[in-house]
Amino acid sequence: MKGFLEDANYSIGLLDEGATLADVIDNCIYEHAHTEKRAFYVGDLGKLVKKNIQWQNVMAPIKPFYPVRCNSTPGVLEILGTLGVGFACSSKSEMALVQDLGISPENIIYTNPCKQASQIKYAAKAGINIMTCDNDVELKKIARNHPNAKLLLHIATEGITADEEVNMKFGTTLKNCRHLMECAKELGVQIVGVKFHVSGSGKELQSYIHAISDARCVFDMAEEFGFKMNMLDIGGGFTGSELQLEEVNHSIRPLLEVYFPKESGVHVIAEPGCYYVSSAFTLAVNIIAKKSAEYDKLLPSGVEQTRTDDEPVFTYYINDGVYGSFASKLSEKLNAIPEVHKKYKEDEPLFASSLWGPSCDELDQVVESCLLPELSVGDWLIFDNMGSGTLGEQSAFNDYQRPLIYYMMSFSDWDEMQDAAIASDTLMKNFFFVPSCIQLGPEDRFSTAA
């Protein structure tokens, strides 16, 4: 069936209603206590189902195209493919992953702004025609290697935050759109729509007004050149918050009704990535080394000092870092907040602590400063909202293996998937039942390497 591999290399724990995410984490840690204590993820695929329902309730008929770079693990791609979500791919490998699910080329967009000629040829051979373009050099390269391509002109948007620096690097101006249309007409390449991207910041909602208005100008311009444009891509920037989604919808709905009414025949799409996967994955890491030192300025800002002069500050080294699951720390502000897995007393003293990855690199700092009870080598820390950024593309560092992934889903979410017309006999190849009193043995392993 479309959306699911015949021979899936993973399985999904179908949880009894009494079982919880915490139960799954406890069981996995119990198993790892007798082995190598490898870092691992627990992926709640039911959250993808919930997010898709939320999207349909708030944003329909805007069709989501999931950016594969956010999280390319097989469970995520197969669930989203089965739910009818399209895919935005930035490389040959991502296109191949999606193709292996049986996804139609019409539901795949090649979005890399700087494409390799060989990968454009791959897209042409695979029948993946829709791709983005924002300059004449890229346009000529596409014309040479994929003459049947259907282009979305990527236009820049007005932004005031650092997040919007993307629009300074990629995206063309209205003035240059005319030049690109002249080139496309001369080269015989089709232009079928417009793409833009607006930051997920609430302050940037005003930017949608400018972006959608500019897109309308480009559509009007296209008519002068005889291009029949029928697609508008409003990009990503969706955080996963239902409130933010409703705010975006409230901002764009009136504009779309005015500039791109239903009778215009324009299909509006979006690229929600973090929206789907961020909250669906929880990461568990193990403490592999520990140091104590004199107290310095590691106390988090705004936290009242409650220590005596001889209290230690602890530095913990964990078996995952910025060269793995925390790679986003190198390029953006990732606010990683650890939770201690083991139980400790409410009145137990907390100490200024920092967390570092296993590489011994000065850049491999996961958490600069936090308050934790004194921990030991072998203890576990839990990080929520870790589903976006590096899953599916990590490499091992210094013999530290990539984290395992344990997939799970509740019965209620399973029922919702059935309501979405997914055949149970096909899906049950990948599912197995997990009762509320979880105690899985090694033979019940339900994991795959990232």
Report in angstroms the alpha-carbon separations of 36 from 124, 221, 403, 439, 445: 45, 61, 12, 19, 15
Residues of the chain by 3-state class (helix, strand, coil), percent to 5? 35, 20, 40
What is the phi/psi pair of residue 105, to 5°?
Answer: -55, -30
Contact 72, 94 (CB under 8 A): yes
Catalytic residue among 183, 360, 370, 437: 360
Alpha helices in 101-165 (DSSP H): 117-126, 136-145
CA dihedral 375, 325, 331, 65 (to 10 degrees): -140
What whole-number distance in Å separates Cα of residue 8 and Cα of residue 75? 9
The C-alpha R_g of the chain, in whole angstroms, comes to 24
Q: Is residue 70 among the annotated active site residues?
A: no
Query: Which among 351, 281, 354 is positioned nearest to 317, based on CA atoms?
Result: 354
Report in angstroms the alpha-carbon separations of 159 from 63, 102, 191: 24, 38, 25
Contact 253, 62 (CB under 8 A): no
Alpha helices in 188-278 (DSSP H): 205-225, 242-259, 274-277
Report in angstroms the alpha-carbon separations of 140 from 35, 169, 171, 187: 55, 19, 16, 8
What whole-number distance in Å separates Cα of residue 4 and Cα of residue 224? 44
What whole-number distance in Å separates Cα of residue 246 and Cα of residue 242? 6
Contact 409, 19 (CB under 8 A): no
Query: What single DSSP character describes residue 328?
Result: G
Query: What single DSSP character describes residue 172?
Result: B
Task: List, by residue number, the catalytic residues.
Answer: 360
